[in-house]
Each structure stands twice: as C-alpha cells, then as structure tokens.
Structure 1
C-alpha cells in the first residue's frame, strides 16, 4: 500500500496544480443590488437586448521591463483571468479605466510600444471584441509633468480617444463618454480645456436629442476661455440619470453621503501579515513613487460634470476598493478594484449589464489571491522535494546494505 501511494503522489501533485490553476483563474461574481432597491434586481434575467461590459482598472503593465515573476507568473495568470472571464461571463465589450501601464508617464514613445504590445498579448484573441481604454495618472503623469504631445500620441494608439484623451461612443443605443480625469485635477492647461469641450459637446448633443430638434453648435461653448478653475457652465434642464454612461479614472468627489453610508463597499481589511502590509508598498512598483489613493476629481469639476452631463451611471478606477454608492442627486457611482497583483493581493473587476430602460445591473467579480497561490505552490514543491529525499535515502540505504553484504 505505501508503495502504491508513493507511486500515485506525482499524479496527485500534477492534478492539484491543474485544479489550482483553473480555480485561481476563474472569477467568482456577486451581484450587488442598489441600496435604494434592495434585492429586487438580483434575480432579474438578462434580456435579449442587454449589453454586458467587463470593466477593469489598474492593470499596471510594465512592458519590456519584465522580471521573471512577471513574465512566467503574473502575466500568465492575467492572460488566464481575461480568457476565463470572457469564456464564463461572455461580455460584449471590455473597458479599462486607466493605469493600464505601471510607469507610462516616465517612458519615451519607443518604450511605450512594448506596453501596448503586452496589453494586446494579454487579451489575445479577445481583441476582436470592442474595447475602450482610458488614461490614468500612471499612464500620463500628474499635473507637473503632463505632456499634451505624449497624451496625443498615446491616444492615437488607443481606439476612440481624441487628442485630449477623451472619447465618446455608442453601443446598442447606449452612449458612453470617457474623460481625461487627470487633466481635470490640473490648473490652466490645454488638455483640461479639451476635456471641457468634450463635456459641453456631449451635453449639447443630449439636450438636442431630448428636445427632439437639431440645433447648430455655436462657437460659444459656454466655457471660461481663461480656463478658470471655477468651471463655468450653463443651466441644463435634463433630469439626473438621463445622460451617458460616464467612464473615469479618478472617482468623483463624494457629495451628500460618505461612500459607505448605507452603500455596498468591499474594502481591503489590512492585517499584520507580511503580504497585507506590503500591498501598498507594491504600488510603488520598483521606485515609481507612491500611489496616491486620495485623488478624486475636485468638487467644482464634479458639480460641473453633474450639471452638464447628468450621467446615467459613473464607473471609476484608481481606488483599491470596490464601492457602489449614490451621490446627493441620486447619481450612482461604482469604483472598480484593480485587476493586478501588483496593486492588491486579491484582484477583481466589475460586470455591468445595461438593461432596457435605465436599469444597470452590477456584479463585483473576485479572482484568486496571489498569496494563496504562492503558499500552495511552495507546499507542493516542498512535498516533491521530500519525496525526492525519501527516494534518495531509500536508494542510499539499499546501496549501503549491498555493500555490507559484500
């Protein structure tokens, strides 16, 4: 019996690794009902005309600066994450809410190319599906180093972005608007002016559509030409929630309620374990500097967006946490957790289902912890080494007995 057990051990180890590989890369999704609707939406069946979007954030790709762990471990599983998620959940489109590069603001155009290639490799054949990528602070830098020419160049290599890093597109009669939220944190600069132009243009289009008549766009966009930080706007008669789906990297400034006041939040519970303590340190990512988690779009810019766009729902990234909460005017905002082990031990993403009418179903999906994988693989390697040691000792004992008999 012991002999047969030892002979079966390699098969058991290989089988365990296979099941671990499948388990760690298969998403576990939990429907998050709106706080003001209880569980009524949880059992809603998907309709024929529904649009399902997989929304991820903070991939933190490193391009050609791969270490061995990134090349043979993290990239492997990130690719598996995408494959398994698409196979299991069958979304109609992919949205990346910024920071798809780890240190893009420090790269030249030549060094940016490997980052773009790495992104295309990770999503592989899934690139045939529609996808939209917006820009984060790690992609283009903070205000002091914001380079409009670099933003224009990166935007030209991503689908649907204009020279200011903004975009607008429509799928299944649902309009999506993405804004360069990094520029909204900055003072007088051309990029911020370009973001304001996008907001006013989309606001005008929605007002025209709702009024049922076409009006010509005038040169006067209602903007402060000196780009005052006060953000000038004209009154908007649209009701809250009647505008586009808004995509941002930075969350909007909280209004009226705290983020977890009666809302659904999944926050990282830090313990004294080495892995948890190092989660925030990992965001430095080999000397790229601290990753500010306190960034939100300023209150005046937030109010400007609410008044001009009346967003149907807002999806934002940058935060370590998943949160689903309502602003004072009833606008729903969902913050999407990072989908990278560089950012946190347990990555995740969001599946948004846009149903007929204005209803939006949101599911928070979690992926396997990196620490569990390391511990489990370490145990398997230790067992294999122990088996080799036992085999060596058995062989050595047999040889010594043979020598003794001689």
Structure 2
C-alpha cells in the first residue's frame, strides 16, 4: 500500500510540475515582458496655439497579425499563433491601458481570396482575440493580404474590409489635436485604376484641408468652405513603407536578418513607388510615417526631415521576437518606445528543459523504486530463511 501511495504522489508531483510550467509559458510569461515596457515621456511644450501644454495621447501600434485562414492555415498553427497574440494583446491592454490601438494592415493572411464564409470566421476570431474595452479605440489600416495586391484588389474585397472595420482608404482620425492620416497604400499604384484614382483624389482633398488648417490666416478666402482639422502636421499610418532601396541601413535586434538586409526592394510590391512616396511627402509633409509589411523593424529618414518607422510583425509565425510600439503623441511632439514580447525560442527551451528534467526524475524514481522493492524482497527472503 505504501509503495502504491508513493507512486501516486510522484505522479501527482509530475502533473503539478507540468501544470505550473504550462501556466507560466501560456499565461504568466507575458506579464514580466510587458511590465518591462513603459510609456515614453513627451516634451510638454506649448500647444499649437501657444497656450497650455498640449495633452498627450497614448497609442499602441502593431502590424501584420496575419491570422491564418482556411486554405493555408493548419489547425495547430492557427491555434498556437492566435493564442499567443491574444494573450500578449490582452496583457498589454490590461497593464498599459492605451487610449487607441493602431494595426497597420495584413490583419488576415487570406483575406485576398477567402470565401464569404471563411471571411466571417476570420473576422469572428479577430474580434475575439483583439477585444478591447469601450474606452480604448481600435483603428486598422488595410494591407495587401486583406484585399490582395493591386492586381488582386477589387471593390468587393475593399468594401468588405471597410465595412467590418469602419474605415475608408483615405481618412484622417483626430485624437487630442493629433491628426493621423490612414492610407490604403495598396491603392497607390498610380495606374489610374478606379480604386487608385478614388484614393488619390481623396488624399488630395485631405491634403488641401490640412494645408488650410495650418495656414488658415493666409488662405482665408480659398479655405472658407473647407473642413478644418487641428493645425498640426499629420502622422501617416499605412501598410507599405515609403520607397527605400533595401534594409541595408536598418539595425537593431528586430531588424531584418543580416543575410536579407541587402536584398533590393521591388517597387509597388515590397515598398511604395518613388512617385507615390514623393506625392505623400509633398502633399502632407508628415511629422512621422508608421508602416508595416516587411515584418522587420527599420528607421529611415526621407529627405533629411521625414522620419519613418517600420513596425515588425506581431505574429510569432513571422518572428521569434515580436514587438509593438508605444507612442506618446501631442499636437507638437512625438516620442516612441518599443515593447518586446517573449521570444518563442525561450518558450520552447522551457518546455524542452522541463521535459528532459521530468524524464530524468521519472527514470531515477523508477530505479530507486525497483531498488527498494529488490532490497525489501531480499530482507523478506532472509527473514524467512532464518
């Protein structure tokens, strides 16, 4: 009876150990990672009108979640990646409490070809994963995997996406005096297609309205009937990066791997064309451009005065070390910091180490158990012989 009891105690200890490791790797590991992050401070300069200090907006920015679909998504891969992103996002929401969350496109991996039924299922899972309280606003930008590359995009796919997320291909969202310009960069192909022409026309109107807002005194007559925005240069949010030759100048632990940094980017596929990039910079003169698409981090300065930051993928399927951006925005200042999530290699190492230790303990226990039984049998046999 004592031997049987000892065996069950050992099994219970093994199960408890496995349970603790599982809870740590699947729940608790995100808390110390996010707790190391902090909102960046911003210079509390005067507001745009020279008055009191401009209020700060706290925004969380991530990109390229790539929710797997019904065609290429293996069930376990989907389960694993979506669980990781959900726990990381929900932990960040609970600990950091951002006022707005921006996702820079490629929400889905198969939006470009998913059937209506598969689309509804993908949307349902996304809304579950990225649920948020009413005092946090979620704003998304369309990416090429959501509606297809330019040659795949059509009005049906685009309007399906815009209806679900209540967005348009060219729109300004204003928060606490900060103008965020949301751009459908997939449509900036410049070939005169109906979607491209519609987006460019709307961007030109927004550019004119922003210029009138900034220079209202000098253009009073021309801007009389134009919608006014806060007099602050915009921050552009889009999926494609502006044109750059490659990632050769990109550095940091979440930049592209060294063997990929010198690969030349293809215009209108990896980055926007030079023409489209120059138009955006000329029309809007942004304070900052935030983009995704490359799945790696990069910081670029266009024309020596227009900074752009490429935000890495939020999915562990695309990176071993996903991250997101924390931004403190005011009408005059922008400060950013990066928050790294647990590396998947760390989780795998913890699981593998635990497995090895448990196997060793089991073997040791069985060896000791057998040795004890053998020793007891010898004692009994000796006692009987006496």
Calculate the TM-score normalised by the size of structure 1. Answer: 0.74
**Secondary structure of 2:131's partner?**
helix
8 Å CA contact 1:353, 1:362 repeated in 2: yes
Partner of 2:324: 349
Partner of 2:342: 368
Partner of 1:380: 354
Q: Would you say how many aligned residue pairs link Structure 1 and Structure 2? A: 345
8 Å CA contact 1:259, 1:325 repeated in 2: no
Stretches of structure 2 that go unaligned for 5 or more consecutive residues are 1-5, 46-52, 261-265, 382-386
Note if 1:312 corresponds to 2:287: yes
Query: In the aligned structure 2, how far is the partner of 1:378 from the partner of 1:206?
Result: 56
8 Å CA contact 1:293, 1:318 repeated in 2: no
Shift of the 266–253 alpha-carbon distance from structure 1 to 2, 3 Å rule, reads farther
Shift of the 378–57 alpha-carbon distance from structure 1 to 2, 3 Å rule, reads same
Stretches of structure 1 that go unaligned for 5 or more consecutive residues are 32-40, 218-240, 278-290
Q: Give the superposition deviation at 1:398.
A: 3.9
8 Å CA contact 2:254, 2:312 repeated in 1: no
**Secondary structure of 1:145's partner?**
coil
**Secondary structure of 2:312's partner?**
coil
Alignment of 1:75-114 (within 5 A): 75-114=82-121
Q: Give the superposition deviation at 1:207.
A: 2.2
| Match 1:62 to one of 43, 54, 68 | 68
8 Å CA contact 1:24, 1:369 repeated in 2: no
Query: In the aligned structure 1, how far is the partner of 2:285 from the partner of 2:256?
Result: 34
Calculate the TM-score normalised by the size of structure 2. Answer: 0.78
| Match 1:171 to one of 172, 175, 191 | 175
| Match 1:301 to one of 251, 254, 276 | 276
Give deviations 1:202-236, integer Å, cap 9, x for gaps.
Answer: 1121122232444346xxxxxxxxxxxxxxxxxxx
Q: Give the superposition deviation at 1:265.
A: 4.9
Alignment of 1:260-339 (within 5 A): 265-268=252-255, 270=257, 295-339=270-314
Note if 1:192 corresponds to 2:196: yes
8 Å CA contact 2:254, 2:321 repeated in 1: no
RMSD: 3.4
**Secondary structure of 1:81's partner?**
helix
Shift of the 131–319 alpha-carbon distance from structure 1 to 2, 3 Å rule, reads same
Note if 1:249 corresponds to 2:249: no
